[in-house]
Structure 1
Amino acid sequence: MAIVKDCLKEEIAETLHDITVNGKEFQYKAIAGNLILRNEQHLPKASIFYTAYFKEGVKDTTDRPIVFCFNGGPGSSAVWLHIGLFGPRRVLMNEQGEGLPPYQVVNNEYSILDLADLVFIDPVSTGLSRAAPGEDAKQFHGVEEDIQSIGDFIRQFITTYERWDSPKLLAGESYGTTRAAGLAEHLHEDQHIYINGVILISSVLNFQTLYDCSKGNDLPYPLYLPTYVATAWYHQKLNEDFQKDLNKALEEAKQFALTDYTLALMQGDKIPPSDYERTVQKLAYFTGLSPDFIARSNLRVNPYRFCMELLRTKNLTIGRFDSRFTGESLETSCDFPSYDPSFEAITGAFTAAFNQYLIKDLKVKSDREYKILAPINSDWNFNKAKNQFLNMSEPLHDVMIKNKKLKVFVGSGYFDLATPFFATDYTFNHLRLTPDLQKNIAMHYYDAGHMMYIQKKSLDQMRKDLETWIRSAILP
């Protein structure tokens, strides 16, 4: 049993387990522990906690991929991808994706452990990872600082476990995709570690496409529109023709977003009154919102107000991470939601299930709190952007050109109002790659939200998509 007390000693807990995936049972080894990051004087800087899974009986690791997984935030541990998607155990959910008490983990028949070994990484200040005593944790809390520390961890890990010869993949979700894109280039340039594949789930590479980061520019509004349409469709707020066919509604919405809506927004205050009114009516038609609300929003409906407004007459708030979810509004007169029903529906389940799994199955005991989410987002150092919008599609573009064998898997949820799928489409449509390199990108879409794998239907489809991609792109 590993007892993680400080950052001065590396400790591991090693256990052996069985799993059945695709009807085939096999054994795997789980190793939960920490690696110490050191400075130039070889003194400890930080302890990074990880959980690694290795399939037993593998004699040749040259054709056995290893996937380094992390979530986003910034400030999130890897718990969501760990017991939600990739790992050998998953938290028990209902079909829609709500936690089922008593919260527990079950065999994950959708795990990709049959295809690749897995390493789940908790960045410094998340999970059980901490800065060393006397070290300021803020030195790890930034775009470049974070990439550097995770890159150092990966180099140490493949050295410790002798995996330099394995195909290496990165898997990130949300801000984890920001990290993954930068990390792929960093490892290539600074460590000469060439990555074979990058898995981007609920991607955010170009922060100009997000409302939260884009006050004063109109780009996000057309990119959010298709997700508004999908959400309105799910909650039966569209006209009868659109309600019959979501794909038709989405295609028409995307066409409008790229043409008349963008043209209207680009005219700013100079838009003719007739064009303004026509755009108001069209947006109401696509979103299920009232023309009056859209006019008061000056054609620019931000996602938080959308969450409050769509079902306001029912006193319901829409989920931001997953707009399929609703919850009773705490304050009916507010313009902005005071909570996210989709976040509340799953966080308790993941927290309880993982902490029990950590102690009971992985045999890890610690006097520290396992921080599912650490409050470091607001203090994150974004100075890499240098008074611009952070855009990590640039390092991804660069490394894909330098390493033409690098393959990219992109997964997006139709009901994700945090990182909308059309914003991801926009980003990848502007990577400026040749047609041949564009073939190295596989785009996939799911009928769920930010963590689409909480819905069993999407989890099943994602497993199939990942298996096809790994077998064809990574192990041809």
Structure 2
Amino acid sequence: MKLTHLLTATAAFALAATATPSLSQDQEAASPAAPEPQVRTVDMSGTFGGQRIDYRVTMQENLLTADDGTPEAMVVTTSYVRTPVDSARPVFFLFNGGPGSGSVWLQMGAFGPVRVAIPSDAQDDGGPPYPILPNADSLLDVADLVFIDPPGTGFSYLLEDTDPSRYYGLTQDAEAVAQVIRLWLNENGRWNSPKYLGGESYGTTRTATVVNQLEGGTYNDVGLNGLILISTILDFAAREPTPGNEMAYVVTLPNMATAAWYHGRVQAESAAAIAEEARQFAIGPYITALLQGADLPAEERAAVRAELSRLTGLSERYLEQADLRVTDQRFYKELLRDQGLTIGRLDARYTGTDFDDAGETPDDDPSFYGIDAGYTAAINTWSRESLGWETRREYQSIGSIGGMWDWTLRGQGRNAYLNVAPYIGQAMRQNSGLRTFVAQGYYDFATPFFGAELSLNRMGIPQDRVQFHYYDAGHMMYVRDEDRHRLAEDIRAFIRSR
């Protein structure tokens, strides 16, 4: 892809006649109550999905205010819109997760017009420079793309004196993102365009809460055509290995089986085959045994223990010591302990070496520290150098706002079972044109594929409008070249089939 910047040398940092000059750091500090939003616009071209596309990139700050007009937050969006503008084209609004993660992962790894090239075979990304390449798998041939960094992520921030509790929470965050989407539709005249909404990881949680804001009421309803969930987490209670919550072990068992298969500890024809074996065992003999607790007969316990060992690659002795309940953290350390290796949480294909081999849990996640430097370098290079974004703020790839997050859903009361899947069910029941696309990696322990299946096959969700797609990588399946291409092709087909 050739990046065609339609700029003169003297206008390089003006970037376009429509661009709003950025404020200096001193000016920002002098006027914290009403900062002037920064806008940068660049015209480019490239080849995506086999089509030559001219497009405009607009990176801008969107000012959010309280009901009384008090400025509260600046939310940065990066839009890629085909030129000339065609209002009949779909618009795809995207974000990542965390909470606290910027949109760098989907933008620079999967769907943006350029991507960072890191090893595809689960090896560490090493040191810079990291290649930033044209991304033929970008979805710009089928949709305009709007990447959103919610408050506290990326370059987005809360203004001075803004109470973080106004934005850092399940519903508060959704309200802010929904407001940004409405502002974008207003400013770009795209209310009648087909619309898709999607995210990755906690971004799938955000998708459910945002669709509730956009379609859950009668005021200013924003109709959607599709939800795209990548590495899905909707039912949080089923995922947590709190003592007494047996579902946590059921949900992660198929992941243990696929990881053990990948590392040669169990035998099967494929990851899909061992995953299905583990699913059936998990919702049959395994959950039955766990629910019997201390009343489980010895003979039945022995049979379950033997099959659990076959599926996970762990010894029967270890499984007995763990009372048939192995947490994911223990599994990362135990599976390859005899080799002195741990496996990744986000992507179990990755392996790491800890300080010592005696611990119960890993020192860190090799599938995160194996990729994070490349992505951070890429988003800063693209934003600051290619798009001319001016700021002293650091891009928050993974911020710390999660510690301040309000995990309660309004109206559900204290200690409610946290599950946002019903929001998707309600939206799909009330909008017959709304479909859901689900992408899951076989080696993702952060958001297990079986957990996604269990959360979406209930809650009044029309099953004939839900698609599941599986990939031979982990949480960010697009780090594997083959799966990035497959993911893009699958989503292209989903969007075209509306």
| TM-score band, normalised by shorter chain | over 0.9
Of 15-24 and 397-406, more deviation after overlay is shown by 15-24
Task: Kindly indicate whether the alpha-carbon contact (under 8 Å) linking 2:408 and 2:416 is maintained by their aligned counterparts in 1.
Answer: no
Task: Kindly indicate whether the alpha-carbon contact (under 8 Å) linking 1:97 and 1:456 is maintained by their aligned counterparts in 2.
Answer: no
User: 2:210 aligned with 1:191, yes or no?
Assistant: no
Task: Kindly indicate whether the alpha-carbon contact (under 8 Å) linking 2:255 and 2:449 is maintained by their aligned counterparts in 1.
Answer: yes
Task: Provide the residue aligned with 1:86 in structure 2.
Answer: 111
Task: Provide the residue aligned with 1:232 in structure 2.
Answer: 260
- Rounded to whole Å, the distance in 1 between the matches of 2:387 and 2:121 is 28
Aligned residues with identical type, % of pairs: 36
Task: Provide the residue aligned with 2:188 in structure 1.
Answer: 161
Shift, 1:108, TM fit = 0.5
Of 317-326 and 133-142, more deviation after overlay is shown by 133-142
Of 288-297 and 184-193, more deviation after overlay is shown by 184-193
Shift, 1:378, TM fit = 2.2
- Rounded to whole Å, the distance in 1 between the matches of 2:221 and 2:271 is 45
| Deviation sequence 1:395-414 (CA, Å, 0-9, x none) | 11111111111111100000
Cα RMSD for the two superposed structures:
1.5
Structure 2 unpaired stretches of 5+: 1-12, 14-20, 29-33
User: 2:229 aligned with 1:200, yes or no?
Assistant: yes
Instruction: Give the letter for the 1:68 counterpart.
Output: F
Task: Kindly indicate whether the alpha-carbon contact (under 8 Å) linking 2:278 and 2:311 is maintained by their aligned counterparts in 1.
Answer: yes
Task: Provide the residue aligned with 1:445 in structure 2.
Answer: 470
Shift, 1:215, TM fit = 4.4
Shift, 1:264, TM fit = 0.3
Task: Kindly indicate whether the alpha-carbon contact (under 8 Å) linking 1:187 and 1:193 is maintained by their aligned counterparts in 2.
Answer: yes
TM-score normalised by structure 2 residue count: 0.90
Task: Kindly indicate whether the alpha-carbon contact (under 8 Å) linking 1:3 and 1:367 is maintained by their aligned counterparts in 2.
Answer: no
- Rounded to whole Å, the distance in 2 between the matches of 1:378 and 1:298 is 32
SS class of match (1:3): coil
Task: Provide the residue aligned with 1:289 in structure 2.
Answer: 314
State which of 432, 436, 442 in structure 1 corresponds to 2:460: 432
Task: Kindly indicate whether the alpha-carbon contact (under 8 Å) linking 2:22 and 2:37 is maintained by their aligned counterparts in 1.
Answer: no
User: 2:399 aligned with 1:399, yes or no?
Assistant: no
Task: Provide the residue aligned with 1:382 in structure 2.
Answer: 407
| Deviation sequence 1:223-277 (CA, Å, 0-9, x none) | 21111111001100114xx2x4433322222111111001001111211122122
Task: Provide the residue aligned with 1:466 in structure 2.
Answer: 491
Of 457-466 and 22-31, more deviation after overlay is shown by 22-31
Of 270-279 and 118-127, more deviation after overlay is shown by 270-279
- Rounded to whole Å, the distance in 2 between the matches of 1:472 and 1:456 is 25
- Give the length in aligned residue pairs: 464
- Rounded to whole Å, the distance in 1 between the matches of 2:399 and 2:243 is 25
Instruction: Give the letter for the 1:192 counterpart.
Output: D
Task: Provide the residue aligned with 2:22 in structure 1.
Answer: 3
Task: Kindly indicate whether the alpha-carbon contact (under 8 Å) linking 2:457 and 2:463 is maintained by their aligned counterparts in 1.
Answer: no
State which of 309, 316, 319 in structure 1 corresponds to 2:334: 309
Of 442-451 and 136-145, more deviation after overlay is shown by 136-145
Task: Kindly indicate whether the alpha-carbon contact (under 8 Å) linking 1:173 and 1:202 is maintained by their aligned counterparts in 2.
Answer: yes
User: 2:484 aligned with 1:455, yes or no?
Assistant: no
Shift, 1:431, TM fit = 2.9
- Rounded to whole Å, the distance in 1 between the matches of 2:440 and 2:62 is 32
Shift, 1:97, TM fit = 5.1
Task: Kindly indicate whether the alpha-carbon contact (under 8 Å) linking 1:104 and 1:352 is maintained by their aligned counterparts in 2.
Answer: no
Task: Kindly indicate whether the alpha-carbon contact (under 8 Å) linking 1:13 and 1:362 is maintained by their aligned counterparts in 2.
Answer: yes
State which of 194, 197, 201 in structure 2 corresponds to 1:170: 197
User: 2:37 aligned with 1:18, yes or no?
Assistant: no
SS class of match (1:366): coil
Task: Provide the residue aligned with 1:51 in structure 2.
Answer: 78
Task: Provide the residue aligned with 1:357 in structure 2.
Answer: 382
- Rounded to whole Å, the distance in 1 between the matches of 2:122 and 2:22 is 33
Structure 1 unpaired stretches of 5+: none
Task: Kindly indicate whether the alpha-carbon contact (under 8 Å) linking 2:426 and 2:460 is maintained by their aligned counterparts in 1.
Answer: no
- Rounded to whole Å, the distance in 2 between the matches of 1:141 and 1:199 is 23
- Rounded to whole Å, the distance in 2 between the matches of 1:55 and 1:83 is 18
Rate the CA distance shift 1:165–1:276 in 2: closer, same or farther, 3 A. Answer: same
Instruction: Give the letter for the 1:229 counterpart.
Output: A
Instruction: Give the letter for the 2:202 counterpart.
Output: Y
- Rounded to whole Å, the distance in 1 between the matches of 2:478 and 2:270 is 23
Task: Kindly indicate whether the alpha-carbon contact (under 8 Å) linking 1:72 and 1:175 is maintained by their aligned counterparts in 2.
Answer: yes
Instruction: Give the letter for the 2:438 counterpart.
Output: V
- Rounded to whole Å, the distance in 2 between the matches of 1:377 and 1:216 is 25
